[in-house]
Amino acid sequence: MDDNYIDSIFEKYLHAKKIFKNKEVLRHSYTPKELPHRREQIEELAHILVPVLRGETPSNVFVYGKTGTGKTVTIKFVTDELKRISDKYEIPVDVIYINCEIVDTQYRVLANIVNHFKNESGVEVPLVGWPTDEVYARLKEVIDARERFVIIVLDEIDKLIKKSGDDILYSLTRINTELGLAKVSIIGISNDLKFKEYLDARVLSSLSEEEVVFPPYDANQLRDILMQRASDAFNEGVLDDGVVPLCAALAAREHGDARRALDLLRVAGEIAEREGASKVTERHVWKAQEKIEQDTMEEVIKTLPLHSKVLLYAIVLLDENGELPANTGDVYSVYMSLCDHIDLEPLTQRRVSDLINELDMLGIINAKVVSKGRYGRTKEIRLNVTPYKVKNIYRHDSQLQTMLTVSMSRQRRLL
């Protein structure tokens, strides 16, 4: 390939108008100096945690609200501020933040807490291998090495409980009775209020000593958040006037999700930059919306349980055979054949009907109940994604690769 051609590609992007001043400001992990429209929640959390500055143990807190309502960023903002003030008054405070979507077992949570103190204690727990009760004993030992307050933030706590049960919460919410010098407080964050139904009543009463609710943002509030971030994220004059209001309006439709609003603004900027555009326009926002929806759907399909993936492929085959909309019985018949093809024990038709409803809720398919007059009601199933997209995802899944060789005859026999 011509070296001049390669040089010209990089030169083109190097000399294109710079859209971003600091793109990191638009990341979910960024904690701004001010949080618009969350003063009430900041005040509540500060009131709950202020006993630390008086040498008293604060209550455990349960924080909940839908995705993108500012829970995590507000907790980080308040605990950062608490740490700053405690350092000023020489009050020893440790804040340990754990994302339970990643650290999702009792053992790994305990190990993460112990390893937070490894520079001080010299103790480091491997990610696997020790008996859990020994890890817990070390945790008490390293925390209680001196007088201090330890605040443990368990973000997406529902993921941990659903996977590993509530034993760890039972232990952590009662740990103060086993400590002599240190005091521990738990902050649990969840998108799913219903997860409390999984908790033992004693754990629930300990964890929910205080509760802070984060309501969704409306379009005007989202616009304020985006305007604040945009001034730090973008170079002056690169945003068209309609960009921020459009991002806010689109995210407001998604139950007021600030993360979605920030993603839209960031991806719109990235698309404009890639095009070599001098400005970010509403057209870039619409393209960003399309890209994010495609990426989200792909991730949803990748993380489906195995039977749901097989069921989805049955619907793909029916679509390719020109047989959609299909009813549950048609889909189940192809699903059974696919299970036989990959040597998988099939689920009952009732359970598959539940999985169809779940795929419908996720937006991957459309399963609409229609009336057939005197023949009763039936479910009409249609595909909301392209067969190519599903096949492309399955190509990288070793469990499902053999299924991709299957096609269907018009008589609905697998070939």
**Is residue 311 domain-shared with residue 401, that is, in the same domain?**
yes
- Domain presence at residue 18: no
For 279, the token pair is 């400005």
Q: What is the CATH number of the domain that holds 161?
A: 3.40.50.300
Position 335, amino acid: Y
What is the per-residue pLDDT across 200-218, written as a single tens digit (0 to 9) for each?
A: 888 888 777 899 999 999 9
Tell me what pLDDT residue 65 has: 93
What is the per-residue pLDDT across 147-198, written as a single tens digit (0 to 9) for each?
A: 999 999 999 999 898 888 888 999 999 999 999 999 999 999 999 877 777 7
- Domain presence at residue 62: yes
Alpha-carbon Rg of the chain, whole angstroms? 26
- Domain presence at residue 63: yes
Please list the residues that pair with 293 across neighbouring strands.
Answer: none
What is the per-residue pLDDT across 251-272, written as a single tens digit (0 to 9) for each?
A: 998 778 999 999 999 999 999 9
Q: How many CB atoms lie within 10 A of CB 5?
A: 8
Are 216 and 69 within 8 A, CB to CB? yes
- Domain presence at residue 4: no
**Is residue 272 domain-shared with residue 379, that is, in the same domain?**
no
1 pLDDT exceeds 60?
no
**Is residue 140 domain-shared with residue 229, that is, in the same domain?**
no
3-class secondary-structure state, position 410? coil
Higher pLDDT, 240 or 398: 240
Tell me what pLDDT residue 11 has: 66
Candidates 351, 305, 359; CA nearest to 332 is 351
Residues 6+ apart with CB under 8 A from 403: 310, 313, 338, 341, 342, 394
What is the per-residue pLDDT across 88-129, written as a single tens digit (0 to 9) for each?
A: 999 999 999 999 989 989 999 999 999 999 999 899 999 888
Higher pLDDT, 55 or 201: 55
The confidence band for 410, taking pLDDT boundaries of 50, 70 and 90, is: very low
Are 185 and 78 within 8 A, CB to CB? no
Q: What is the CATH number of the domain that holds 325?
A: 1.10.10.10
Q: What is the mean pLDDT of residues 315-322?
A: 90
**Is residue 175 domain-shared with residue 314, that is, in the same domain?**
no
Are 400 and 408 within 8 A, CB to CB? no
Higher pLDDT, 233 or 363: 233
**Is residue 145 domain-shared with residue 76, that is, in the same domain?**
yes
The confidence band for 407, taking pLDDT boundaries of 50, 70 and 90, is: confident
Over the chain, what is the mean pLDDT?
89
Cα–chain center distance at 375: 43
Helix axes 157-164, 106-116, angle to 10 degrees: 130
Tell me what pLDDT residue 193 has: 73
The confidence band for 338, taking pLDDT boundaries of 50, 70 and 90, is: very high
376 pLDDT exceeds 80?
no
DSSP assignment of 332-372: HHHHHHHHHHTT-PPPPHHHHHHHHHHHHHTTSEEEEEEE-
**Is residue 90 domain-shared with residue 135, that is, in the same domain?**
yes
Helix axes 349-361, 306-320, angle to 10 degrees: 80
**Is residue 242 domain-shared with residue 373, that is, in the same domain?**
no
**Is residue 209 domain-shared with residue 285, that is, in the same domain?**
no
Tell me what pLDDT residue 356 has: 92
Tell me what pLDDT residue 6 has: 59
Q: Which pTM does this prediction carry?
A: 0.75
Full strand arrangement of the beta sheet holding 149-155: 93-99, 149-155, 183-190, 61-64, 210-213
- Domain presence at residue 291: yes
- Domain presence at residue 27: no
313 pLDDT exceeds 50?
yes
Convert 165-182 to b/e letters by CB count within 10 Å (16 or more is b).
Answer: ebebbbbbbebeeeeeeb
Please list the residues that pair with 370 across neighbouring strands.
Answer: 378
**Is residue 310 domain-shared with residue 396, that is, in the same domain?**
yes
374 pLDDT exceeds 90?
no
What is the per-residue pLDDT across 126-149, written as a single tens digit (0 to 9) for each?
A: 988 899 999 999 999 999 999 999
Position 17, amino acid: K
Q: Which of 186, 213, 240 is the last residue of a domain?
A: 213
Are 119 and 154 within 8 A, CB to CB? no
Q: Which residue range is the domain that position 323 belongs to?
A: 304-405
- Domain presence at residue 57: yes
3-class secondary-structure state, position 383? strand
Q: Which of 168, 193, 213 is the last residue of a domain?
A: 213
Q: What is the mean pLDDT of residues 327-348?
A: 91
**Is residue 96 domain-shared with residue 195, that is, in the same domain?**
yes
The confidence band for 312, taking pLDDT boundaries of 50, 70 and 90, is: very high
**Is residue 321 domain-shared with residue 261, that is, in the same domain?**
no
**Range of weakest confidence among 42-56, 222-236, 391-405:** 391-405
- Torsional class of 156: left (φ above 0), alpha (ψ -120 to 50), beta (otherwise): left
Number of domains making up the chain: 3
What is the per-residue pLDDT across 3-27, written as a single tens digit (0 to 9) for each?
A: 666 566 666 666 666 899 999 999 9
Cα–chain center distance at 103: 13
Task: Summarize the annotated binding site for ATP as residue ranges.
Answer: 69-73, 217, 229
Q: Which of 300, 333, 359 is the last residue of a domain?
A: 300
**Is residue 243 domain-shared with residue 382, that is, in the same domain?**
no
CA distance 119 to 98: 18
Q: What is the CATH number of the domain that holds 282?
A: 1.10.8.60
Are 315 and 324 within 8 A, CB to CB? yes
